[in-house]
Amino acid sequence: MVKLCPECAHYLYGYSLCEHEFVNQKCAKCGWSGTRSKYILKLIEIAREQEKA
């Protein structure tokens, strides 16, 4: 793994989220395209369910 995007690093390891500024469909700060893997989407779903409880 060369470089983990801030979005994935947040959900996997608890790192701070980037305050994204999208320009031409990419964040000008970190380069994230806004896409998420199925695994990250599942982690987000689980986290939201835990927040409700």
Per-residue pLDDT of the chain (53 residues; tens, 9 = 90+): 557 888 888 888 989 988 999 999 999 998 889 988 899 999 999 989 998 87
pTM passes above 0.85? no
CA distance 53 to 29: 34
> Which pLDDT does position 7 carry in this prediction?
83
pLDDT value of residue 52:
87
Whole-number pLDDT of residue 2 = 58
- Any idea where the domains of the chain sit in the sequence? 6-52
d(CA 49, CA 3): 29
